[in-house]
Structure 1
Amino acid sequence: MVLQRFPHSAVVWGYADSGSKISLFLKNKEYNSITENKIGYKSPVWRIQIDPISDTNPFDLEFTETKTDNKTSKIYLRNILFGDVWLCGGQSNMQLTLNVTEDGQQEFTIAHEFKNKIRLFTVQQHFADQPQYDLLQIKQNWSEPSLESLRSYGWEYFSAVCWHFGKKLSQNLEHPIGLIVNCWGGSEIERWMSPDMLKKCDIPNTNSNHSQLWYSMIHPFLTFPIYGVVWYQGESNTWYNRDKYGCNFESMVSKWRELWYENTKGSTNPSYPFGLVQLANSEKEGDFVDKWAWTRWEQTSGYGYCPNEKLKNVFMATAVDLIDNGDDPIHPRKKSDVGIRLGLGALNLGYNKTLEFAAPRVKKVIEEEKILRIEFQSDFGRFEFDEKKYSINKKGFDLCCDTDDCFKDDNMNWFVLKDFQVLNDSVLLEKPSGCTKSKYVRYLWRHKPCEYKMCPLYSKTSSLPVTPFLSEVVLSGNRGMRVNFNYVNYFIIFFIFCFTTNHV
């Protein structure tokens, strides 16, 4: 087991007879708790909050129960580490285990190297119709990394993404890491949200599946301090409430943080780091624009990158270029890239390590006579363009012009821009001869935008890909604007209202 380390306090709790006193002696200090009857718990419960511990060596914890008749008994928790606990959540791409990935076999031979550095835990999938205060089932109890704990038949344990993520952290930190896998293949985000979270985004409380996994698989952990969360989910929402995903994700992240902070009595950071994986492809062929591209956009709340104003202290590992052309493309088999990219984000935002975790992002798109200039922010270094990669698929950039219907489903108003140049921190695009007024430019707006690690633009220093973006085009000298479709719609309605009012 891993309990949350310094600077936060660890919390341990359990069941005992009514009125019993539970004592723990640790590092020259005695902790005591009296059992209480609490709503939702199956038996009287005790709770001990341990002072922050920075030691990295294993501990044995001895608990003594003194009953009301003064009889005593002891319980031992052995080989306990104090470290940072991360929850790995989502659907099947987080659930996918090392034994069925292309880059998983080698991990079994090195597992022993992380014996005193990483611990593993996997939650059994189950659902409930009301909040649970304890897990109904456990698939894999706390374990040291080994061939047996990392490799199971089928999709039992251990999550490939979660393992590679934890390993990346362990290789760059001096203390233990606890990994909790908590996911369900095919689940929509609404199933991981409480009714209050759904209400914030105007999601009707009419679907019986909503909140079931929140009740059964998340709620029991709210009293257990954690350091952060990584999240690989969104595929199922491509066909269900896709346009609400941005709001739902914001609401879920915000409320999870708030409730973990409250229920651990301040032992969890109220703005703990939260990582997400931007979706890869789901089909072998994907030279078309569809809902998948819009889901990626919704994952970032319409910014194209993280962190941003709506998703603060949220980092993103894109899988847009991690394409798999195998028999099951929706589950890319090379998971080490995803875990490592998540690790880079966590080390930067969660541990203040000066590691590049994202490629340069678009700043603005400017129309200059016959060209379009895309300027990038260089916070995360410079990017580079590989002509050999781009020659395979000259479909990175699209332009919409001379219409107010850029976002119709038929995509008939978009031009594919095949010719461009890279100049310092900018990309120069040649405007089509038939385009009078440029409206929007988008990048990698395809179901399958490129082959494996073969997209046009990558960071020169980290080799991370520039992520998909959608940006309004402005005239030279004006500042660029982030696309917000609600504002676009409000403007159209306001314009129509003013026009009709002035012509009555």
Structure 2
Amino acid sequence: MLKLRGLVAIAICSIAASAAQADVKLPSIFGSGMVLQREMPVPVWGWAEPGEQVTVSFRDQSQTAQADAQGNWKVKLNPLALGEPGALTVKGKNSITLDNVLVGEVWVCSGQSNMQWSVNAALDPDLEKASANFPQIRLFQVPLVTANEPQKDVKAQWQVCSPATIGNFTAVGYFFGRDLHQILDVPVGLIQTAWGGTRAEAWTSPDMMAKTEELQPILEGWKENLAHPKHIQAQKDYEAAVVKWEESAKAAQAAGKPAPQRPKAPDITMTSQHYPSNLYNAMVSPLVPYAIRGAIWYQGESNASRAYQYRKLMPAMIQSWRDAWGQGDFPFYQVQLANFRPIKPDAGESDWAELREAQHMAAKTIPNVDAVCITDIGAAQDIHPKDKQNVGKRLVRMALVDLYGVKNIVRQGPTFDSVTFDGKKAVVKFDTHGANLVSYYKEPLTGFAVAGEDKKWVWAEAKITAGDTVEVTAAGVDHPVAVRYNWSDNPQGTLFSEAYLPAYPFRSDTWEGVTAKNVKP
């Protein structure tokens, strides 16, 4: 029944599209109030009658293309500079005018729930909304949809940032974009495409999933799950429930009453938001190749049980986006997982620590990728820490230093450089990124652990011995061979830089972790 209805809907849409094919059309990523990326070629594309000439004009330039046999056309505007709002026109057999178009910095804001987390749900939502009068910040929010094949469009529109529009927008994205706007004094366009609870493989292109050997267990796991009798039955039950819901909704409408809540789809289905590539297809592909400066990403909680696999998955996902956009190795900044879960009394293993490690390792795998550390602003009982303001600030630090040439900014907190072992001591050297080491509280520092050849971890005492060096010792460990810092779900380490940015978790060993053998969802 549902499949038949879907085929009918597709047929109706196809007839409507065919009837209107003569009209020049644009995907919704192009609209009045949008921001176009400065200082690089700007693709503009859409659909028209096959063979139709289409001209795109903005400011003092015009570019023309001819629609191909399928009705697709694309032009590239020459690099644009900052300036007053203008109108972009698209002319074929009909004409489209987009007003109030700005040129500035465009960033994609993606990931799972901590990126989707809205200003309304973050710290001080009343104050943040009341002060959100930024007519040069523009917002584009992609709806939560899935697809098994790459899509060409989404139902969304650009909005001007204001107290009335910012509440449901990504808090991390907004605070990042607001700081960029205020520091650089340029327009900023923010594209939110995020969905809570989702996994990185759902955001990775089908081609990349298919050709990456280390990701095949994910596809195999889904194939096995979909074939399991209980999941087949769950899908049948869901389809039957939807039929009943449609009848109830129709009856409620006729009676002037609210419709009942639609049944929730099972997670193990090819239409699930967790299914490989479904979010790339529906929530990333329609944005490509809109010119952007880069992307910020907050995700990983749903992949923590397969953290070792994430070492390959995350670079593959990023590369799949870069391949699709075709504008080179654009910057991609991740947010490491916050501190979460109960504080454990013993030093030991942690899947969240291994996921943070995988996030940091991506920077060494492909260019222009990094991660910010937020292990000081999480909450033991809340997987969605409310302080999104500081997350945005830490992301913007990297962008300002890497891309915009802003001086006197500390890029990030201290990161592990090397360790030497001298008898009972482990001497750890850090890259301080321009700000000397300090203890957030009084010494001795907390968060360090050492182990001998027996691989048994013992909490250690640590002290800063130079601006970039920490000396670590532990009672009972006479010959340490490895050192770790903040290697836990909810780390409580107190090593910071003078900029009060936290030192990144690290380990000097390469011993097999708890997620090393986990490869299937």
Which TM-score tier does this pair reach, normalised by the shorter chain? 0.7 to 0.9
2:507 to 470, 478, 481: 470
How many Å apart are 1:201 and its aligned residue? Answer: 4.5
Q: Distance in 2 between matches of 1:428 and 1:189?
A: 38
1:282 to 316, 340, 355: 340
**CA pair 322-386 structure 1, distance change in 2 beyond 3 A:** closer
In the alignment, which residue of structure 2 is the partner of 1:264?
Answer: none
**CA pair 287-334 structure 1, distance change in 2 beyond 3 A:** farther
Q: Distance in 2 between matches of 1:189 and 1:330?
A: 18
How many Å apart are 1:86 and its aligned residue? Answer: 0.6
In the alignment, which residue of structure 1 is the partner of 2:484?
Answer: 442
In the alignment, which residue of structure 2 is the partner of 1:95?
Answer: 116
* Secondary structure of the corresponding residue to residue 338 of structure 1: helix
* Secondary structure of the corresponding residue to residue 115 of structure 1: strand
In the alignment, which residue of structure 2 is the partner of 1:120?
Answer: 139
Q: What is the TM-score with the length of structure 2 in the denominator?
A: 0.76
1:200 to 204, 212, 220: 212
In the alignment, residue 282 of structure 2 is paired with which amino acid? S
**CA pair 30-195 structure 1, distance change in 2 beyond 3 A:** closer
* Secondary structure of the corresponding residue to residue 365 of structure 2: coil
Q: Distance in 2 between matches of 1:287 and 1:184?
A: 34
In the alignment, which residue of structure 1 is the partner of 2:411?
Answer: 357
Checking the alignment, whether the CA contact within 8 Å between 2:205 and 2:321 is kept in structure 1 is: no
Q: Distance in 2 between matches of 1:282 and 1:385?
A: 21
Root mean square deviation, CA, Å: 2.3
In the alignment, which residue of structure 2 is the partner of 1:273?
Answer: 331
How many Å apart are 1:127 and its aligned residue? Answer: 0.8
Q: What is the TM-score with the length of structure 1 in the denominator?
A: 0.79
- Offset from partner CA, 1:244-298 (integer Å, 9 cap, x none): 001111112223223211xxxxxx3x11111000001333545564211111111
How many Å apart are 1:424 and its aligned residue? Answer: 3.2
Checking the alignment, whether the CA contact within 8 Å between 1:359 and 1:458 is kept in structure 2 is: yes
Q: Distance in 2 between matches of 1:369 and 1:28?
A: 71
Checking the alignment, whether the CA contact within 8 Å between 1:86 and 1:226 is kept in structure 2 is: yes
**CA pair 47-424 structure 1, distance change in 2 beyond 3 A:** closer
Query: Which of 248-257 and 209-218 deviates more?
Result: 248-257
Q: Distance in 2 between matches of 1:183 and 1:386?
A: 34
- Does residue 286 of structure 2 align to residue 249 of structure 1? no
* Secondary structure of the corresponding residue to residue 150 of structure 1: coil
In the alignment, residue 386 of structure 1 is paired with which amino acid? Y
Q: Which ranges of structure 2 fall in alignment gaps of 5 or more residues?
A: 1-32, 223-269, 517-521
1:405-416 maps to which residues of 2 (within 5 A)? 406=455, 413-416=456-459
How many Å apart are 1:466 and its aligned residue? Answer: 0.5
- Offset from partner CA, 1:69-94 (integer Å, 9 cap, x none): xxxx3221011111221100100000
2:60 to 28, 52, 55: 28
Checking the alignment, whether the CA contact within 8 Å between 1:85 and 1:177 is kept in structure 2 is: yes
1:45-444 maps to which residues of 2 (within 5 A)? 45-66=72-93, 73-112=94-133, 114-116=134-136, 118-135=137-154, 137-138=155-156, 141-151=157-167, 157-198=168-209, 199-204=211-216, 205-206=219-220, 207=222, 208=270, 209-239=275-305, 241-261=306-326, 268=327, 270-283=328-341, 285-287=343-345, 289-301=349-361, 307=363, 309-324=364-379, 329-354=382-407, 355-388=409-442, 395-403=446-454, 406=455, 413-432=456-475, 434-444=476-486
* Secondary structure of the corresponding residue to residue 111 of structure 1: coil
Checking the alignment, whether the CA contact within 8 Å between 1:103 and 1:335 is kept in structure 2 is: no
Q: Distance in 1 between matches of 2:435 and 2:169?
A: 35
Checking the alignment, whether the CA contact within 8 Å between 2:360 and 2:370 is kept in structure 1 is: no
* Secondary structure of the corresponding residue to residue 214 of structure 2: coil
How many Å apart are 1:457 and its aligned residue? Answer: 1.1
Checking the alignment, whether the CA contact within 8 Å between 1:243 and 1:298 is kept in structure 2 is: yes
**Which is helix-richer, 1 or 2?**
2
**CA pair 28-415 structure 1, distance change in 2 beyond 3 A:** closer
**CA pair 175-201 structure 1, distance change in 2 beyond 3 A:** farther
The percentage of counterpart residues that share the same residue type is 30
- Offset from partner CA, 1:174-223 (integer Å, 9 cap, x none): 32111000011111111111233234242222324111111111112222
* Secondary structure of the corresponding residue to residue 438 of structure 1: coil
**CA pair 363-30 structure 1, distance change in 2 beyond 3 A:** closer
Checking the alignment, whether the CA contact within 8 Å between 2:424 and 2:477 is kept in structure 1 is: no
**CA pair 422-105 structure 1, distance change in 2 beyond 3 A:** farther
Query: Which of 312-321 and 177-186 deviates more?
Result: 312-321
Q: Distance in 2 between matches of 1:416 and 1:484?
A: 18
Q: Distance in 2 between matches of 1:159 and 1:27?
A: 31
* Secondary structure of the corresponding residue to residue 129 of structure 1: coil
* Secondary structure of the corresponding residue to residue 51 of structure 2: coil
* Secondary structure of the corresponding residue to residue 164 of structure 1: helix
